[in-house]
Structure 1
Amino acid sequence: MFSVVYITTSSLDEAKFIGRTLVKERLAACVNIFPITSIYHWDGMQEAEEVVLLAKTTTENVKRIEQRVKELHSYDVPCIISLVIDGSEDYLTWIKREVR
């Protein structure tokens, strides 16, 4: 099975650092990075510009990604959530080939 891991970060630099680490360590085959605006409760109502990573991986790697992101991340409680995905057989085969 395959998953996408959704991770929010505080900055583009942090997102690139985490993304490069996940790909270099073969935990993710590919990471997409894009800016977002988040609205949430944390010591009151907050609105912040953040950056999201979408990491494509095998489902068996999700817990390893979670652990690695927690080691690298600046937030006390980082958003790390995953969704099981389906898709193009060729693309999923490529993901499987790229991750360890």
Structure 2
Amino acid sequence: MPVRLVLSTCPDADTAARIARALVEERLAACVGALPGLVSTYRWQGRVEQAGEAQLLIKTRAGRLDALIARLAQLHPYELPEILAVEAGGLPAYLAWVAEQTCEEP
């Protein structure tokens, strides 16, 4: 089962925790890691900005990616949230666990 790693930044640890819990409870993600202390530098509306953020590392299966993206965009407070998905490989047993945890029916 193909697995995807989805990256998204959040404005703070509380928002990251709220989003992570919702995605796992709804079986859209098997696991979400939150890395606090990220400093992002980016151009927004013609200005270079810097902001402290928390980085989410979201693991899901490819078949749930579209639903996860839609829900993440709905939960996210940013006008234009970072939502990037990359194909992930790894330990077969872990990949199978991700697939099992993200089944639509438990």
TM-score by length of structure 1 reads 0.97
SS in 2 for 1:63: helix
State the partner residue of 1:3: 4
Query: 2: CA distance between counterparts of 1:61 and 1:55?
Result: 12
State the partner residue of 2:39: 37
State the partner residue of 2:70: 67
1:54 to 53, 57, 72: 57
Q: Following superposition, which runs of at least 4 residues in structure 1 exceed 6 angstroms of deviation? A: none
SS in 2 for 1:19: helix
Counterparts of 1:78-97 in structure 2, within 5 Å, are: 78-97=81-100
CA drift of 1:75 comes to: 0.4
Query: 1: CA distance between counterparts of 2:93 and 2:74?
Result: 32
State the partner residue of 1:20: 21
CA drift of 1:4 comes to: 0.4
CA drift of 1:70 comes to: 1.1
Aligned residues: 100
SS in 2 for 1:4: strand
Aligned-residue CA RMSD (Å): 0.7
Query: 2: CA distance between counterparts of 1:67 and 1:19?
Result: 14
Unaligned runs of 5+ in 1: none
Unaligned runs of 5+ in 2: none
Query: 2: CA distance between counterparts of 1:79 and 1:6?
Result: 7
Aligned residue identity for 1:92: L
SS in 2 for 1:79: coil
